């Protein structure tokens, strides 16, 4: 069994990015600049956004964090987005999701200039991704592709079962892995809450991507020997033995499933750290696209 170490891989990628940033600066190009907007005080979202901003500093990017109050109106948020869209120094920006209920998420996503949409959530970028055209691939699927690539996990001709059909993970993952690309060419089955006989399907999988948000959903009796498992789940489960009061639990019962696995991602330290590294990669790409013609 080999652990797909997202923490180490993400650190490698960040080192590569930092090197490229200093090379760009030496050649007189601008420093990549990522902005992030967060609305409200959700603890998990604040943690993620702060981690993204910190990661920018570590690789030598500029970063701007816009913290807006919970009561921010949709119109006010759209105005902030319009300002970032035309700010020449900002190469890319993200609006941290979820947003408060009174704001229409889709409207917000569609207001972001696709050339600055380093989350890859805008329909223009999702469409390009689906057509296998150059674009920003959103951080989680992009991170999974990169992790599989760097560990030389064979996907061509394999049966991949994706659990979950979210716009952020399940849906793009199933599209990408079936495409004709280096990490791709798989036969993909996408399963969701209405899927019947799920265990029959997961037992046929060479690779499983679990992205349903149910702690320890995937058990050892649902997988075959030598399976590869990518665990995208990160649910906070109350744990009084932890200083924070919670621990992070994936969608996979790691201890039992790992015994049958060829490759497996841990939680934490698997897919999670990769997402930040890929956001930085997209920001660097946005900056280069704009500066180097």
Active site positions, annotated? 52, 96, 119
121 vs 164, 274, 278, 287, CA distance in Å? 17, 17, 14, 18
Contact letters for ligand GUN, residues 227-256 (x by CB under 6 A):
------------------------------
Residue 45 and residue 100: Cα distance in Å, rounded?
12
DSSP tag of 130: H
Q: For residue 213, which of 240, 188, 233, 195 has the smallest C-alpha distance?
A: 233
Contact 156, 284 (CB under 8 A): no
125 binds ligand GUN (CB under 6 A): no
171 binds ligand GUN (CB under 6 A): no
Binding footprint of ligand GUN, residue count (CB under 6 A)? 8
Contact 263, 206 (CB under 8 A): no
CB 167 to ligand GUN: min, Å: 11
CB 36 to ligand GUN: min, Å: 8
CB 273 to ligand GUN: min, Å: 13
139 binds ligand GUN (CB under 6 A): yes
Residue 95 and residue 179: Cα distance in Å, rounded?
28
97 binds ligand GUN (CB under 6 A): yes
Query: Which of 80, 119, 146, 231 forms a contact with ligand GUN (CB under 6 A)?
Result: 119
Contact 44, 236 (CB under 8 A): yes
Contact 286, 22 (CB under 8 A): no
222 binds ligand GUN (CB under 6 A): no
Burial of 274 (0-12, 13-18, 19+ CB in 10 A): buried
Task: Collapse the DSSP code of 238 into the 3-class scheme (helix H, G, I; strand E, B; otherwise coil) and give the result.
Answer: strand
108 binds ligand GUN (CB under 6 A): no
80 binds ligand GUN (CB under 6 A): no
User: Of the listed pieces 92-100, 177-185, 188-196, 243-251, which binds ligand GUN according to CB under 6 A?
Assistant: 92-100
CB 270 to ligand GUN: min, Å: 15
94 binds ligand GUN (CB under 6 A): yes
Query: Which of 21, 55, 81, 96 forms a contact with ligand GUN (CB under 6 A)?
Result: 96
The residues that touch ligand GUN, with contacts defined as CB under 6 A, are: 94-97, 119, 139, 168, 275
């Amino acid at each position: 069994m080999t652990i797909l170490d997202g923490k180490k891989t993400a650190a490698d990628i960040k080192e590569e990015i930092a090197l490229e940033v200093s090379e760009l600066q030496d050649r007189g190009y601008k420093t990549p600049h990522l902005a992030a907007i967060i609305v409200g005080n959700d603890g998990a979202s604040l943690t993620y956004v702060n981690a993204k901003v910190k990661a920018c500093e570590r690789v030598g990017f500029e970063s701007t964090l816009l913290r807006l109050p919970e009561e921010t109106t949709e119109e006010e948020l759209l105005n902030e987005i319009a300002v970032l869209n035309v700010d020449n120094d900002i190469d890319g920006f993200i609006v941290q999701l979820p947003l408060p209920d009174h704001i229409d998420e889709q409207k917000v996503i569609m207001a972001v200039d696709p050339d600055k949409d380093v989350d890859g959530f805008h329909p223009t970028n999702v469409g390009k991704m689906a057509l296998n055209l150059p674009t920003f691939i959103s951080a989680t699927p992009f991170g999974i592709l990169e992790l599989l690539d760097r560990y030389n996990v064979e996907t061509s001709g394999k049966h991949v079962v994706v659990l979950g059909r979210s716009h952020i993970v399940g849906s793009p993952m199933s599209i990408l892995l079936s495409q004709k690309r280096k990490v791709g060419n798989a036969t993909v089955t996408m399963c969701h809450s209405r899927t019947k006989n799920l265990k029959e399907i997961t037992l046929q999988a060479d690779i499983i991507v679990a992205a349903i948000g149910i702690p320890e959903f995937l058990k050892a009796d649902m997988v075959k020997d030598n399976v590869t498992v990518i665990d995208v789940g990160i649910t906070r489960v109350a744990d009084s033995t932890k200083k924070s009061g919670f621990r992070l639990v994936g969608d996979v019962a790691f201890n039992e499933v790992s015994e049958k696995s060829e490759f497996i991602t841990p939680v934490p330290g698997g897919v999670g750290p990769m997402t930040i590294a890929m956001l930085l990669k997209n920001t660097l790409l946005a900056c280069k696209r704009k500066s180097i013609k």
